[in-house]
Structures are given as C-alpha cells and as structure tokens.
C-alpha cells in the first residue's frame, strides 16, 4: 500500500471529535443545541430566488463567466454602504470578497503566519480559527475573558512573554462560544497595545448585526488609524450560510496581498452567488430581514437562559448575551462531560462540550449551547431533559 508523504500541515491522525459530536447531534430525532446553525425557516428563500431569476434574465452569460479575484464591484459597493450603518467607512476597493469568512481567516493566516509565530486569542474562542492558525504552524496562546471580553492587563502580560506575537484574534460581538461582547474601553486598549507591541488584530464579526439588547459598540476597526485591524464579515448569519460568501476589510496594501493569495487559491469566489446577493441587497431591505431574525433569536435566547436557570443544578454559571446565537454554560463541580454528552444523546438532546474551544488549558466542565436553530417549545423541553440528566449524574456521586 502506498505510503503518502503528507505535508507538515496535514494532521497526523484522522481524529475529529468535534465533527463526530456534530454528526451524532444532527440526527433528526435529537433536539440539538450543538451546531452554530441559523434558523432555516427564517431564510429569505423567495427573495433570493427572485434575485436569482432576475440575475439570470439580465446577466446570465456574464455571471457564469470568470470574474475578478477581489470580487463583484457592485457587491463590494453594497457591502460598503451596509457597513456604514455598522460604524465602518469601508471603501469598496478596501474590501475582498471571500468564500465565507472562514476563507478570510485562512488567507490572513497564510499571509501573516510563519511556523513558530504566536497568535493570541480569547480563551475560549472559535475553534475553527484555532485550527487554521495551527495549520500554518502558529503557536496559539489564550487570554482569559469575562463579560467585557478579553482581559487587557492579561493580554499585555502575555505579549511581554511572547514578543514574536504576529496576530491577536478576537470575536468582539456576541462571541463564539460565550456570547459575550468586548467593551469599548477594552477595544480602545487593544488598538493601543497593537501599536505598542507591533501586532495585527483580526476582528471576526459574524454575529455583530444580531443585537437584540443594549447599545451598539464601535467596531475595533473604526478605532484604528494605522491599518492594524483586519475585519472579517459574512452573509452566513444574516442571510444564509449555504451562500458561502464573506468579506475582508483591511488597509489597501493588505487587500492587495490577500487578493493575490486568493487568486492563487480559488481564482475568485462564486461569481453567480455574488451577483445574486448583490441583486438581493439592491431589491430588498436587508436590515428589515436582519431585524426579523434578531427578534426571533431574542425570544429563543431568553427562553434558553430562563430554562437553564430553572432546570440546571444549583451552582451552574451561564452567560446572558445581548445578541448572537450562543450561551456558555459552566457546570458545578467537575462532571464527566463525555458521559454527560452520551447520556443526553440517549435522551435525544445534544450540546457541544466546551474543551475544544480552548487554545490551552481547557475547562472541562463547560458547554456551548446554540439557541438559534430550535423553536421556543423545543428549547424549553430540551433544556428540561438536559437538566434532569445533568442533575442525575452530578447528584448521584
């Protein structure tokens, strides 16, 4: 049998425990709070279909042809207009269309990370970002966070221990997995530290538009005057993830390099989908749609929060986000999370264990809970089942 000489970037084993969890949790009989999935019943299917029909009628041959690596100009112009409502004055030329924001993270890592470079992230953080950074040989280092985001004093101490830090990665709005948001004061301090210690900031913002309580906070990129912040956005959470389109906003010099790398990687993102989204944005009030999903997610998030407080054992800690799609739960004591997951599956309910979200020193009594993909009734019944299973395991000891 052939022995393949894989590159050092390929994992040594085929172990994929997180993927296995999501596979088990995706069975139709299971009420799953595991995947970070938007609600499919809220997708604007009719409007996107109408936009697609118009694109084919008016520009079918054009949109089926090759296009520019940087992306559809009309779409970049419309994203620029949309981002002005979020507090960013992004010029269309300073935007790169990507195949989801996940490709944006990959391109940034490819551009900036050499083996042995340090990438600092919140602890816990989005696990697929950690996978990307590790693929390019980065040493990932975590900094603790609280309800106001990454702790800046601890970040500075970490920077002093790791002077070769290239990037600091943050999800400042309704973070995955905790749902917490970084305060304005900490955003300002982060930008100041980037100047002092000479690193770039990745501001990953998939959830920022889905705010249902509190006041908007200025994007980190809006506080940056020296091109140190790379902002990644996506249509996955505000329209539909199957469209697989996102964008990077960054300084012109960085966009030029990223565009070259993207052209090497896939020539350009799907030209047809870019045209359809542009047509959708031109013909519809996208903010009205975002307001609609936000209202639904607010009800689901509040239901889950109240149900956990009601049904989970005393001593359970949980976040109370002002937006987004997730709650973060810390159970009392040190329960066997793997056993808990297995017992929950037997009772047709699922969650994601928290350990994979830590770049180092994982807290094994944690779990991420997604509320966007289930109805209020399913959330109430599912959390009640989980609470009974958790209590039986904790109090049986």
Q: Residue ranges of the domains in the chain?
A: 17-43+288-396, 45-283
Whether domain 17-43+288-396 has CATH 3.40.50.300: the reply is: no
Question: DSSP for 253-289?
Answer: HHHHHHHHHHHHHHSSS-HHHHHHHHHHHHHS-HHHH
The predicted model gives 228-234 an average pLDDT of 98
Q: Which CATH number fits domain 45-283: 3.30.420.40, 3.40.640.10, 3.30.360.10, 3.40.50.1100?
A: 3.40.640.10
How do residues 290-322 score in pLDDT, each as one tens digit? 999 999 999 999 999 999 999 999 999 999 999
Cα distance between residue 341 and residue 343, in whole Å: 5
Residue 393, CA atoms < 13 Å, CB-side half-sphere: 21
Cα distance between residue 12 and residue 82, in whole Å: 43
Annotate 237-264 with b (16+ C-beta within 10 A) or e (fewer): bbbbbebbbbbbbbbeebbebbbeebee
How do residues 78-116 score in pLDDT, each as one tens digit? 999 999 999 999 999 999 999 999 999 999 999 999 999
How do residues 357-378 score in pLDDT, each as one tens digit? 999 999 999 999 999 999 999 9
Cα distance between residue 64 and residue 271, in whole Å: 7
Is the whole-model pTM more than 0.85?
A: yes
């Amino acid at each position: 049998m052939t022995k393949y000489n894989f590159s050092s970037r390929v994992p040594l084993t085929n172990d994929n425990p997180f993927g296995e969890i999501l596979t088990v949790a995706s069975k139709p009989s299971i009420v799953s709070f595991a995947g970070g999935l938007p609600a499919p019943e809220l997708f604007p299917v009719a409007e996107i279909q109408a936009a697609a029909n118009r694109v084919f009628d008016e520009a079918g041959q054009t949109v089926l042809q090759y296009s520019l690596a940087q992306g559809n100009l009309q779409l970049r112009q419309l994203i620029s207009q949309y981002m002005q409502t979020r507090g960013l004055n992004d010029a269309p030329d300073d935007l790169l269309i990507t195949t989801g924001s996940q490709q944006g993270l990959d391109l940034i890592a490819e551009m900036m990370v050499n083996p042995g470079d340090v990438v600092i992230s919140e602890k816990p953080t989005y696990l697929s970002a950690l996978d990307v950074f590790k693929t390019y040989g980065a040493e990932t280092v975590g900094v603790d966070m609280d309800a106001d985001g990454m702790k800046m004093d601890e970040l500075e101490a970490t920077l002093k221990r790791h002077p070769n830090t290239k990037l600091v990665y943050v999800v400042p709005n309704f973070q995955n997995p905790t749902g917490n948001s970084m305060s304005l004061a900490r955003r300002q301090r982060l930008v100041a530290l980037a100047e002092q210690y000479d690193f770039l900031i990745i501001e990953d913002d998939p959830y920022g538009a889905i705010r249902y309580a509190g006041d908007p906070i200025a994007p980190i990129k809006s506080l940056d005057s020296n091109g140190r912040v790379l902002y990644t956005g996506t249509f996955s959470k505000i329209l539909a993830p199957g469209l697989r389109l996102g964008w990077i906003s960054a300084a012109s010099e960085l966009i030029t390099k990223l565009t070259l790398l993207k052209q090497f990687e896939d020539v350009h993102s799907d030209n047809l989908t870019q045209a359809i989204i542009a047509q959708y944005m031109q013909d519809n009030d996208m903010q009205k749609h975002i307001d609609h999903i936000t209202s639904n997610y607010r009800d689901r998030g509040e239901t889950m929060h109240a149900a956990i407080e009601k049904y989970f054992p005393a001593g359970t800690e949980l976040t109370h986000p002002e937006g987004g799609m997730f709650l973060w739960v810390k159970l009392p004591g040190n329960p066997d999370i793997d056993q808990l997951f297995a017992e929950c599956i037997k009772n047709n309910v699922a969650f994601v264990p928290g350990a994979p979200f830590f770049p180092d020193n994982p807290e094994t009594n944690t779990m991420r809970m997604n509320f966007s993909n289930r109805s209020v009734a399913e959330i109430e019944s599912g959390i009640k089942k989980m609470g009974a299973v958790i209590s039986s395991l904790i109090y049986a000891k």
